[in-house]
């Protein structure tokens, strides 16, 4: 049991990472990674949602008839995402404003529903919780790494603090969506081409 839990946690971090192996959740990977601060808030929202959605759905999995399975999944995800949205609006209004529509779009993040379908629907709640958490963390660290380099090269700052100083010319391309494509491609190349071998 313990070893199965460990395996469940480790697999989504590397071998079956949702972002660089399964290439899921790319839209938000591209959209929110131009500032580290926004990225951290976004990935915490995703970790919260994917953990609790998988857990909740796993509890309900034997009660729910197969034909309404997907409706229930969407409903559960939407509920948790709206909770994140309201919490941000109330307690972190400035970050909520900057993230704009992206928090709501966690609902359509394929990782969340994908893990419910692929794992929580056929596994007990405890393991589903671990799987949801690990998938969220697997998504999170990739985004944080990409955001780190995009903010550093695009704005010359980390977490809003100036790193390079005055002489640095900002790479505007890194701030814009194409910059995320380049960063993600380089990341996948490094991880799959170099590390995996």
Partner 1 sequence: MKKTSFFSERIKPVIIMAVITIICIALVSGIHLSTQDLVIANEGLVLKKAVLFSAGVNLPEANSEINSLYDDRVEQKGDVFIVSGSSGGIAAYAFIAAGPGLWGEIEAVTAFKADLKTFAGVDFIKQNETPGLGARITEDWFREQLRDRQPPLVMNPEGTESSDAAEIDAITGASRTSEFVLSIFNDAGVRAAELKKEGM
CA 33, CA 150: separation in Å to the nearest integer? Answer: 7
Contacts by 5-8, CB closer than 8 A, 24 or more apart? 5/126, 5/127, 5/130, 8/127, 8/130, 8/131, 8/134
Using CB under 8 A, which of the segments 6-14, 22-30, 78-86, 132-140 binds partner 1?
A: 78-86
Say whether residue 67 binds partner 1 (CB under 8 A). Answer: yes
Say whether residue 36 binds partner 1 (CB under 8 A). Answer: no
| 6/92 with CB nearer partner 1 | 92
DSSP 25: S
Say whether residue 11 binds partner 1 (CB under 8 A). Answer: no
Tokens of 85: 């949205």
Q: How far apart, in Å, are the Cα atoms of 163 and each of 101, 154, 174?
A: 29, 12, 16
Helix, strand, coil content of the chain in percent (nearest 5): 75, 0, 20
Of 105, 115, 90, 113, nearest in space to 11 by CA: 115
Q: How far is the CB of 32 from partner 1 (least distance, A)?
A: 9
Q: Tell which one of 5, 44, 64, 145 touches partner 1 (CB under 8 A).
A: 64
Residue with tokens 């404003």, as numbered in its chain? 97
**Positive or negative, the Cα torsion across 171, 175, 177, 182?**
positive
Q: How far is the CB of 189 from partner 1 (least distance, A)?
A: 24
Binding mask 139-158 for partner 1 (x = CB under 8 A): ------------x--xx---
* Beta-strand relationship, 161-162 and 157-158: antiparallel
Region 84-123 residues binding partner 1, contact defined as CB under 8 A: 86-87, 89-91, 93, 97-98, 100
Q: Tell which one of 6, 23, 68, 70 touches partner 1 (CB under 8 A).
A: 68
Q: Tell which one of 110, 175, 188, 191 touches partner 1 (CB under 8 A).
A: 175
Q: How far is the CB of 26 from partner 1 (least distance, A)?
A: 18
Binding stretches for partner 1 (CB under 8 A): 34-35, 38, 60, 63-65, 67-68, 71-72, 75-76, 78-79, 82-83, 86-87, 89-91, 93, 97-98, 100, 151, 154-155, 170, 172, 175-176
């Amino acid at each position: 049991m313990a070893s199965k839990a460990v395996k469940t946690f480790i697999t989504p971090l590397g071998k079956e990472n949702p972002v660089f192996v399964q290439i899921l959740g790319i839209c938000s990977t591209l959209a929110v990674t131009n500032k580290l601060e926004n990225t951290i808030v976004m990935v915490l929202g995703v970790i919260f949602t994917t953990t609790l959605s998988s857990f909740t759905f796993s509890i309900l999995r034997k009660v729910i008839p197969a034909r309404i399975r997907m409706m229930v999944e969407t409903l559960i995800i939407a509920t948790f995402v709206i909770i994140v949205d309201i919490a941000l609006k109330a307690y972190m209004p400035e970050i909520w404003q900057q993230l704009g529509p992206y928090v709501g779009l966690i609902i359509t993040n394929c990782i969340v529903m994908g893990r419910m379908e692929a794992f929580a629907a056929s596994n007990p709640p405890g393991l589903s919780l671990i799987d949801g958490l690990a998938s969220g963390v697997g998504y999170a660290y990739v985004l944080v790494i990409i955001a780190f380099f995009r903010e550093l090269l695009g704005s010359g700052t980390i977490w809003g603090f100036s790193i390079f100083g005055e002489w640095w010319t900002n790479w505007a391309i890194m701030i814009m969506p194409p910059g995320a494509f380049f960063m993600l491609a380089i990341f996948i190349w490094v991880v799959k081409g170099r590390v995996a071998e």
